[in-house]
Amino acid sequence: MKPQTTFRDSQSGAFLLEALIGILIFSLGVLGIVGLQARAIRYTSDAEYRAEAMYLANSLISQMWTDDPSNLKNKYDSSVGTGAGYTGFVTRVNQGLSGAIIPPPVVTVDGPAPLPQKSSANSNVVQVQIQWRLPGDLGDAGFHNYTTTGVIGRN
């Protein structure tokens, strides 16, 4: 005679399987939250560097406003590259965006041809461009960029 199997015997191991599936679903949820947190930290870092680049570029234009307008090109233009204003700006950029990969900033006095404004007898058009790559961001396609344009009036 065959022994009767009870409901309890036929269900052996089901609770363990349910527990393992529950742990798997919980683990996937935790991994998703960790991924979101990592992305949020990356965007926060990018915003921090962008704000610092904005501050540095605008402070350079403000400094140009207080300087002698006849010496702006020699002192600040990156094509000259040896002016005290430009070399000081490069130092401030490297300190302000420390940890990032930073190519030399581009400062153009009497802006390039595509600019809608051109220099006149009473003003200079100035363009400041700062680029950076976040620390540890080697897989990124390119550099982040902040460019601003200002008009420095001559009095």
Between the alpha carbon of residue 15 and those of residues 18, 69, 108, the distances in Å are 5, 81, 71
The pLDDT of residue 1 is above 70? no
Q: What is the pLDDT of residues 132-149, one digit of tens each?
A: 888 777 665 678 899 999
Q: Please give the pLDDT value at position 141.
A: 65
The pLDDT of residue 118 is above 80? no
Taking each helix axis from N to C terminus, what angle separates 14-66 and 84-96, rounded to the nearest 10 degrees?
160
Q: What is the pLDDT of residues 59-115, one digit of tens each?
A: 999 999 888 878 888 898 888 878 889 999 999 999 988 888 888 898 888 854 445
- What is the value of pTM for the model shown? 0.72
Q: Please give the pLDDT value at position 15.
A: 85
Higher pLDDT, 86 or 120: 86
Q: Please give the pLDDT value at position 110.
A: 80
Share of the chain above pLDDT 90, in %: 33
**Which residue matches tokens 């409901």?**
7
Higher pLDDT, 82 or 131: 131
Q: Please give the pLDDT value at position 98.
A: 84
